[in-house]
Structure 1
Amino acid sequence: MPSQSSSPVRVVSRHIVKPPPRQRERIPVTLWDVAMLSANYIQKGLLFAQPPVPTAELVDHLDATLADALAAYYPVAGRFVTEQHRDDHGDVVGSTVFIDCGGQGVEIHHAVADGVAVGDVIPPDADIPLVVQSLFPLNGAINYDGHELPLFVVQVTELVDGAFLGFACNHSLCDGTAFWNFLNAWAEVARARLAPAEAPPAEPESRPPPLFERWSPDGSAASTTMLPYADLSALGKRPTPTPTPMRERMLHCPEESLAVLKERARQELLAAGDPAGAAALTRFQALTSLVWRSISSARRLEPDQQTVCFVAADNRGRLRPPLPAEYLGNCIKLVLTGAVRASELVSRGHGWAAAAVGRAVAAHTDVSIRAHVAASAADPLLRPGRLFPANAVLMGSSPRFDMYGCDFGWGKALAARSGRANKMEGKASLYPGRDGGFDVEVAMLPEHMAALEQDDELWAAVSPDAAPAWATKE
């Protein structure tokens, strides 16, 4: 593979894709959406074996089917606009952000990665290589840029023996649930178009349409959210880059290891006299708490330094009444455990940490969500900067996202990866394992990653990327 000092990836063409014409409308964004304006776009991608058609034809195929998907998901092809509000004296007293659904379009980029093969993108038992960052569009873009930039861009990169689809989606437009719903809807259209002509027509999947109506606490049609700022340009401030490049690894926790982790934590809680905590344990809590403890140990925190674990929680099913899964927008909140001293996090054990994560998630109810929304509406402080404190751990993404159901017509993806967007030291993300279990993506400073690699408790539960047979054939 070519040296990574200069990227081997060349973009050879760019094309705008627009939805069918329709009546123009504006959709107000909520406080959940606006809170993401200073963060990066979502960058997630899928690695595929060699598609059955040349890449140029593949790009044309994806172009046509994306236009069809945008017919239903037309806000994705819009842009943000900000409207200023004035008082009776003409002074600006606030601003409201909308999605202008004017069919401005999304983009498809066709790129070529000279000399880069599938095995170079997912090398066995190694860091995620830097070349992966070049497989994504809109590197460095933040969501505020959606006033000018497309809200969605896909880069189709031709590899020596495969293809990588790198997606960049504005995080103030939608969260991970809505993002993967859109990708799977597009993949469904693309897959049907590539079916052999002689094959019987496939029964259409009963996929509910996306929901664009904004959620409001009182159940009425949501009104616009006016922010008490005359100028939102401060939200366009770029995140401060990490002075030292981070190392990233993707680890796999198979089903049997998840079961062992959960049972170990359960037994510890029973022994500690916490049957309720033991009964409520989930695989997610067991793995998240292990990652929290392992990262905290690898950082060599001082014994009295405090740490917390943040978890990105989907509010949809927690609201009463629940918000449909098809809601296109942000409906997430970072929930956090109570603060604990680093020495206590290690000494109290895995079961205690798992229960702490469980209590934080269980406390995130309809009542707490509505209280948070009310407090945010009364004082909508929007501060560019870190997503979480320096000593904390953030668990993002979700193993519930249907990443490997995104079959565009030439088979299941070989692997899911992310770009450099929203990466901070101590950020971890959970993915579904391709063939079961969970995958964990971890970003850390080099010295901390080196210490993490010496953590026997972690490595007893996870395995590094191997060289699976499906990396070269299906």
Structure 2
Amino acid sequence: MSNSPIVKHVSECFIKPKLNDDYSKQPYYLSPGDLAMLSAHYIQKGLLFTKSSATDQDFSIQTFLEKLKDSLTRTLVHFYPLAGQLATQIDEHQHSSFIFIDCEKGPGARFIHATLNMTIHDILSPIDVPVVVKSFFDHHKSVNHDGHTRPLLSVQVTELVDGIFIGCSMNHSVADGTSYWNFWNIWSEIHMQHNPNSKSKLPIHKRWFPEGYGPRVTLPFTHTDEFISRYEVPQLRERIFHFSSESISKLKMKANIDVEDTDKEISSLQALSALVWKSITRVRCLSGDEKITCTMDANLRQRIDPQLPQGYFGNSIWVAKATATADQVNEHSLGWVAELLQKAVMELTDKTVKSVFEAWMKSPFVYQIDAFFEPNSTVIGSSPRFDMFGNDFGVGKPVVVRSGYANKFPGKVTTYPGSEGRRSIALEICLPPDVMTALESDDEFRSYSIHV
């Protein structure tokens, strides 16, 4: 579309919760998993809704925005760190920095109202995700360390001709995907006048540290140049692929027929991830004994002893990493590759996880996006188990989930629940243009995905 319309910002304001407790005045400590994310981008995900009805004369965008602001104010009472900003105390003598959240610093969470002269069809009909979608989010290209001067949470409501997109940018040093979608779910319930105590995972702010460490964790740096980098996303095509529940069931059945260890059932996501890894490896034309990897995000809350509650607010994730040669991935069965991924997940035991973070405490580092993932890797993030389509803000069920610029690179795959429900899954895949074109023509991959 030439001369595409642009997103226009109409207004913005800042929102702080009404807090009477002294805990908001105390430093909010960051755990090792939080601090390691300082050079990554903010989490940027959002939901697209249709307006109530084109004939509904009662719908008012101003009324809708005021209700959203009100419910966000009440939600931030539970998620009060998001209304603060990062702060740093530097010890030049020890060559160290102590980074934490100052819950009283800054103006609060940002709330933006924007407009775009496009329709839902304009957004969903192109094969690739339109570039304009990146403008549905605040904090474009910001890294988490920027939370020293930028809001830790920014909500942008973009009004389309016939729809509304709510885009939420949240600092990834403050929250992981589980925490992020818990925030959405509780905000939605509060907005709809439901009691979040009854059926949501209210945030638990008690911080987790390896035994014998914390809560004050210092980094061995005094200047941002030592641990912060600005990753620029190369030219990529971003496309959403849909997999029906029937297609997922066939994949899972095929993978389990192939496996050698019949005592351990391959899950639906492991089977789908194996298909993706095999397909991307094939269309990248990788072969021989070149080592390649596939990593999957893993929620650690239930993997450590004692377990953390699902409502634990912060980063409690690690990657399950499978390694093989390109020939092995190409030549072995779907089940063999899925089993390799399953073994990587199962290796994330309490002992392994604690040893990882104890090693980090002894030699802290901050992930650099361009260095953390190897060339020709496949990285599978997010989760189809997150409740994305249950979020209701009075205008019905979301139509789709979309994401912004953040944390994308060649081989990045983001998993979402399918909009049609019934255990369907949608994948957002980022690849160089020539590789994406090859994937679109790959017979095995095409045989399982739905073309819409």
The CA distance in 1 between the partners of 2:383 and 2:195, in whole Å, is 30
Partner of residue 9 from structure 1, selected from 7, 15, 22: 7
* Runs of 5+ unmatched residues, structure 2: 53-57
Deviation string for 1:225-275 (max 9, x for gaps)?
111222245434211331xx2111111111111111011111112xxx432
The CA distance in 2 between the partners of 1:204 and 1:373, in whole Å, is 32
Q: How does 1:355-394 map to 2 (within 5 A)?
A: 355-386=339-370, 387-394=372-379
Partner of residue 309 from structure 1, selected from 294, 297, 319: 294
The CA distance in 2 between the partners of 1:295 and 1:449, in whole Å, is 9
State the TM-score, normalizing by the size of structure 2: 0.93
Tell whether 2:306 aligns with 1:321.
yes
SS of 1:320 mapped into structure 2: coil
The CA distance in 1 between the partners of 2:239 and 2:67, in whole Å, is 33
- TM-superposed CA distance for 1:2, in Å, is 6.0
1:56 matched residue in structure 2: 62
- TM-superposed CA distance for 1:383, in Å, is 4.9
Tell whether 2:82 aligns with 1:80.
no
Greater CA drift, 319-328 or 227-236: 227-236
* Runs of 5+ unmatched residues, structure 1: 193-200, 467-474
Partner of residue 261 from structure 2, selected from 253, 267, 274: 274
Contact 1:264–1:351 at 8 Å: present in 2 too?
yes
1:472 matched residue in structure 2: none
- TM-superposed CA distance for 1:166, in Å, is 0.9
Contact 1:208–1:326 at 8 Å: present in 2 too?
yes
Greater CA drift, 91-100 or 419-428: 91-100
1:262 matched residue in structure 2: 252
State the TM-score, normalizing by the size of structure 1: 0.89
Q: Which amino acid aligns with 1:17?
A: I
Greater CA drift, 227-236 or 281-290: 227-236
Contact 1:40–1:422 at 8 Å: present in 2 too?
yes
Partner of residue 100 from structure 1, selected from 98, 102, 105: 102
The CA distance in 2 between the partners of 1:131 and 1:40, in whole Å, is 19
Greater CA drift, 285-294 or 127-136: 127-136
Q: Which amino acid aligns with 1:66?
A: L
The CA distance in 2 between the partners of 1:216 and 1:241, in whole Å, is 32
Contact 2:38–2:367 at 8 Å: present in 1 too?
no
Q: How does 1:389-408 map to 2 (within 5 A)?
A: 389-408=374-393
The CA distance in 2 between the partners of 1:71 and 1:170, in whole Å, is 17
Tell whether 2:131 aligns with 1:130.
yes
SS of 1:8 mapped into structure 2: coil
SS of 1:189 mapped into structure 2: helix
Deviation string for 1:421-453 (max 9, x for gaps)?
111010001101122211111000000000001
4+ residue runs over 6 A deviation: 201-204
1:65 matched residue in structure 2: 71
SS of 2:302 mapped into structure 1: helix
Q: Which amino acid aligns with 1:317?
A: Q
SS of 2:398 mapped into structure 1: coil
Deviation string for 1:81-109 (max 9, x for gaps)?
111236xxxx1431111111116310111
Contact 1:253–1:439 at 8 Å: present in 2 too?
yes
- TM-superposed CA distance for 1:385, in Å, is 3.6
Q: How does 1:423-438 map to 2 (within 5 A)?
A: 423-436=408-421, 437-438=424-425
The CA distance in 2 between the partners of 1:142 and 1:82, in whole Å, is 16
Greater CA drift, 254-263 or 221-230: 221-230
Tell whether 2:165 aligns with 1:164.
yes
Alignment: residue pair count: 440
The CA distance in 1 between the partners of 2:182 and 2:196, in whole Å, is 19
- TM-superposed CA distance for 1:203, in Å, is 9.5
Partner of residue 444 from structure 1, selected from 431, 442, 445: 431
Contact 2:129–2:239 at 8 Å: present in 1 too?
yes
2:38 matched residue in structure 1: 37
Contact 1:396–1:429 at 8 Å: present in 2 too?
yes
Deviation string for 1:372-402 (max 9, x for gaps)?
0111111112253424111110000001111
Q: Which amino acid aligns with 1:453?
A: E
1:196 matched residue in structure 2: none
Tell whether 2:447 aligns with 1:460.
yes
The CA distance in 2 between the partners of 1:229 and 1:133, in whole Å, is 32
Q: How does 1:144-183 map to 2 (within 5 A)?
A: 144-183=145-184
2:185 matched residue in structure 1: 184
Greater CA drift, 102-111 or 398-407: 102-111
2:55 matched residue in structure 1: none
The CA distance in 2 between the partners of 1:425 and 1:10, in whole Å, is 30
Q: Which amino acid aligns with 1:343?
A: D
Deviation string for 1:120-148 (max 9, x for gaps)?
11116x11111111111111111000000
Task: Tell me the percent identity.
Answer: 36
1:210 matched residue in structure 2: 203
Partner of residue 316 from structure 2, selected from 324, 331, 355: 331
Contact 1:74–1:103 at 8 Å: present in 2 too?
no
The CA distance in 2 between the partners of 1:292 and 1:95, in whole Å, is 39
Contact 1:145–1:236 at 8 Å: present in 2 too?
no
Q: Which amino acid aligns with 1:250?
A: I
Contact 2:186–2:202 at 8 Å: present in 1 too?
no
The CA distance in 1 between the partners of 2:228 and 2:59, in whole Å, is 41
1:470 matched residue in structure 2: none
Greater CA drift, 18-27 or 165-174: 18-27
Contact 2:37–2:367 at 8 Å: present in 1 too?
no
- TM-superposed CA distance for 1:204, in Å, is 6.8
Q: Which amino acid aligns with 1:157?
A: T
